[in-house]
Structure 1
Amino acid sequence: MPADGGPGRVQDVRRQNLAVVLDSIQRTPRTTRAEIAASTGLTKASVSSLVTVLLDTGLVEEAGVARDGERGRPGSGLVLNRQRGALGAEINVDYLAVGVVDALGELRGHKVLERRPGGLDVVFGDLQELARAVAGEAKAAGIELLGGGLAVPGLVDPTRKLVLTAPNLGWQDAALERHLEALLPDSPLGVVLSNEANSAALAELWYGHGSSFGDYLYVSGEVGVGGGLIFESQLFAGPRGHAGEIGHVVVQPDGLKCGCGGRGCLETVAGQDAVFSAAGIQGATTADRMAALMHALRTGAPDAVRAVERAGHFLGIALVSAARMVNVSAVILGGHFAGLQNWIRPSLRQSLETYAPGLVPPDGVAFSELGQTAALRGAAGSRLREAFASPADLLN
């Protein structure tokens, strides 16, 4: 084991300093080497050497000139290279989605395929086709993909690349290692696995409403209902990585049986299928049914209005229980909850005030603006942040 000051220790310090310099460039676009040295306390010579390495990784590029002050020669501005990015993918109950997020956080491509779940080989066959198409478009646009992330609606073990259980997909102990490798086979960092709601919660932090809260509960509304917890701008997944499963908070003890095996879960009254069923909405695809529901709501159809009000009522009960347990006062609602916000907001607000006055104030409730891209944005963004935290890995 190397002693302090030995080669191993020097390499560790250099890796840390690379991340420090890259963080400075992220925070202050077009910053110069001299400005980085002043803000980080590193010597100008060290910064110059570290910037050379970052330029070699491709994460950073020089952009024009910026003057370091009134005296001295101009310095080159440094920015993140938007021609580097990550692939984000999502498997959900009724659709597959793939997109590319660049180093600046911009979505640079997005494709969705509506479908119902099936076996692993069938699902990943379709997902690989989508990934190839999106990756091909990225390559044509000059974007190099460093790695990727896949989000699924279930309990996952990212280390073992295993979906422990995904009731709405019908998956149990599903091993995904070979499927993840096939999604982006030539990327330097590979593809990682994550929970859909956790990824969406992080996407809100980086690209949505989350930065204004810091601490919040994110709730995703799909066929299932998922949740992700953010504390002090960090994801809190709990000791086994499964915290935030608000969709399986019991809100109606004598209610319907849930796919998780329990009874009366929030998902059974506020999930997409539950709302469609209560509203008497039918259709060939989820998009068809959502369009029919929206039309029914706009025309004031009583069954549709009652179904959404009922969902808002029980959603409020679940949010109160969760907010009291984890001591948060802000929530962000995504998926169909965001699409239905004009109709679900009144009953939700009334429920929150009835069961816990002031706990979650009106300005503590936000509706996502990321649409169907939240989970894949978060999955891709997590991979990019891993690269930012350890840029030297791109040179291995």
Structure 2
Amino acid sequence: MAMPAQAAALAETGAPGNMGDVRRSNLALVMGRIARQPAGVHLTRAHVAATTGLTKASVSSLVVALLDAGLVRETGLNPQGERGRPGVGLELNPARAVMGMEINVDYIAAGVTDLSGTLLLREVRERDNRDSEPGPVVAALAALAASLCVEATGRGIQIVGGGLAVPGLVDPARSMVLAAPNLGWEGVPLDLAALLPGSPLGVALFNEANAAALAEIARRPAGDADFLFVSGEVGVGGGLVIGAELFTGPAGHAGEVGHVVVDPGGTRCSCGGTGCLETVAGQDAIFAAAGMAGLPVTRSAALAALLSALDSGDPGARAAVDRAGRALGVALASTARVVNVGSVVLGGHFAVLDQWLRAPLLASLEKYAPGKFTPGQLTVTAVGDPGALLGAAGSVVRSLVEAPHLLQA
């Protein structure tokens, strides 16, 4: 029987409720069920059918589609929990991966993760990107990504897409950096296709602190679903997590704790304001206050020198970190009054300096927001330095799990 004209039109436009939508929804349901399994646990088709409510015939058809797309693979017979003949186990295909990338003020980085989020490869290259044209920076990152692609290919791994984290306000839909003051970029479109040419999913754009916060979500203790992630780099970024979901606000720019004013009579910030947190607690501000400004050293060497000075009890270094801790406390106290987060996670140099930063930070929090945070609610990152690229990569994987049809032939 011929399909009615209206139904045919709806099918062609992908309107809600057509058979294509139902199949895509069920494909995502099956993919998500397989993806949520802990390492070493392999569901069979019968397990998937029983836990999703789909028929065994539907699950078998959907699994074939996922196998053909290379997203899952069979692992052999799995006798656990089934009567009669054991079924064949299923798992995410370790031969498919995504790439997380990061552009920051003084380095670029890239890393390859499998679909379960395990970091397989990573490389960081120090590079001064201040006031650089975007083209050469993207080209340098593309070269780094290409080298990791070659290494991944040598291991039999195909990279299907990626995510890029940048320290600034971004518009992912237009692949544009709206404002990244410490890079000197404003209203800058990025050629994301150049980073992973030919990849099926392309490259998605993220704010650096938001991406790092996403990486923290899966690694927080059970029940810790509300937290503010604070990223300490040359600038200071923030990612706000509520109910285990990243909250970015209507325009996607919520959580910018680095530009909370902590010193109204202070110095000019790169954002154009005055007295922002990053003018006191950003890397450059701490190095300057510790008497290390202008030294011709790399970021890692500068941090190492600061740590050495702190270890030796250098008064200038201690005073600089104390001042940063107090200012961070003011910003967090103000933020906590507006958004009722349950805890704070410190990343970047705040995590590195935790041993010296914690006491002035806690004292400041107690002064300006008494009883709001206990010492146990102030923790350091569980992910570490790769947080931004892991979060960017993980978000791409999550999108793929929710829409596996994107990789179907």
Counterpart residue type for residue 403 of structure 2: S
Amino acid at match of 1:240: A
Q: 1:342 aligns with which of 349, 355, 372?
A: 355
Residue 139 of structure 2 is matched in structure 1 by: 125
Query: How far apart are residue 113 of structure 1 and its match?
Result: 1.1
Whether 1:247 aligns to 2:247 is: no
Count of matched residue pairs: 393
SS in 2 for 1:354: helix
State the identity %: 55
Residue 158 (1) aligns with residue 167 (2) = no
**Which residue of 1 is the match for residue 340 of structure 2?**
327
Q: How do 1:272-283 residues align onto structure 2 when only pairs under 5 Å count?
A: 272-281=283-292, 282-283=295-296
Aligned twin of 2:7: 2
How far 1:251 moved relative to its partner? 0.6
Q: Which residue of structure 2 aligns with residue 63 of structure 1?
A: 75
What secondary structure does 1:164 align onto?
strand
Q: Which runs of 5+ in 1 are unaligned?
A: none
Letter of the 1:86 partner, please give it. Answer: V
2:35–2:401 CA contact under 8 A, matched in 1: no
1:70 offset after TM fit, Å? Answer: 5.6
In structure 2, the residue corresponding to 1:2 is in which secondary structure? helix
Mapped to 2, the partners of 1:17 and 1:328 lie a distance apart of 35
Deviation at 1:2, TM superposition (A): 3.4
**Cα displacement string for residues 51-77 of structure 1 (whole angstroms, at most 9, x for unaligned residues):** 111111111111122125362100111
Residues 5 and 285 of structure 1: is their aligned pair in 2 closer, same or farther, counting only changes over 3 Å?
closer
The question of 1:380 aligning with 2:393 is answered yes
Separation in 2 of the partners of 1:111 and 1:142? 19
Q: 1:104 and 1:165 mapped to 2: Cα distance?
A: 32
Structure 1 residue 4: Cα displacement: 12
| Equivalent residues in 2 for 1:304-315, closer than 5 Å | 304-315=317-328
Corresponding residue SS for 1:214:
coil
Q: Post-superposition shift, 1:5?
A: 10
SS of the residue aligned with 1:257?
coil
TM-superposed CA distance for 1:272, in Å, is: 0.4
Partner secondary structure for residue 231 of structure 2: strand
Letter paired with 2:149: A
1:148 aligns to 2:148 (yes or no): no
Q: Within 2, Cα distance between the matches of 1:26 and 1:146?
A: 17
Among 286, 291, 299, the alignment partner of 1:286 is 299
**Equivalent residue, structure 2, for 1:54:** 66
TM-score (norm 2): 0.93
Does 1:361 find its partner at 2:366? no
How far off is 1:291 after superposition? 0.6
Does structure 1 residue 175 correspond to structure 2 residue 189?
yes
Distance 1:33 1:239 in 2: 41
CA displacement, residues 336-359 of structure 1 (integer Å, 9 cap, x when unaligned): 001111111111111111111221
Q: Provide the secondary structure at the position in 1 that maps to 2:334.
A: helix
Q: Deviations over 1:99-136 (max 9, x none)?
A: 11111111111111111111112212211111111111
- Are the aligned partners of 1:329 and 1:361 in contact in 2 as well (CA < 8 Å)? no
- Amino acid in the other structure paired with 1:111: E
Q: Does 1:266 align with 2:310?
A: no
In the alignment, the residues of structure 1 paired with residue 221 and residue 155 of structure 2 have an alpha-carbon distance, to the nearest angstrom, of 30
Alpha-carbon offset, residue 211 of structure 1: 5.8
Q: CA deviation at 1:234?
A: 1.2
Q: Does structure 1 residue 14 correspond to structure 2 residue 16?
A: no
Residue type matched to 1:24 in 2? Answer: R
Partner of 2:3: none
Give the one of 316, 321, 342 matched to 1:303: 316
Partners in 1 of 2:36 and 2:53 — Cα distance?
16
- Tell me the equivalent position of 2:92: 80
After TM superposition, the score normalised by the length of structure 1 is 0.96
Task: Please state how far the C-alpha of 1:370 moved relative to its aligned partner.
Answer: 2.4
Aligned CA-pair RMSD: 1.7
Aligned partners of 1:103 and 1:384 also within 8 Å: yes
Preserved CA contact (<8 Å) 1:204 1:210: no
44-53 vs 364-373, which moves further: 364-373
- Could you say if the C-alpha distance between residues 146 and 211 of structure 1 is closer, same or farther in structure 2, counting changes exceeding 3 Å? farther
Is 1:30 aligned with 2:35?
A: no
Deviations along 1:256-288, one digit per CA (max 9) or x if unpaired, are: 110000000000000001111111123421111
Deviation at 1:373, TM superposition (A): 0.8
* Equivalence for 1:185: 197
Question: 3-state DSSP class of the match of 2:328?
Answer: helix
> Which segment drifts farther, 25-34 or 338-347?
25-34
Over 3 Å counting, the alpha-carbon distance change for 1:246 and 1:183 in structure 2 is same
Distance 2:195 2:82 in 1: 51
SS of alignment partner, residue 124 of structure 2: strand
Displacement over 3 Å in runs of 4+:
1-8
Cα deviations by residue, 1:368-395 (Å, 9 ceiling, x for unpaired) = 1423211111111111111111001101
Correspondent of 2:150 among 126, 136, 142: 136
Counterpart CA distance in 1 for 2:213 and 2:396 is 15
Is 1:220 the equivalent of 2:234?
Answer: no
Separation in structure 2 between the aligned mates of residue 31 and residue 5 of structure 1, nearest angstrom: 36
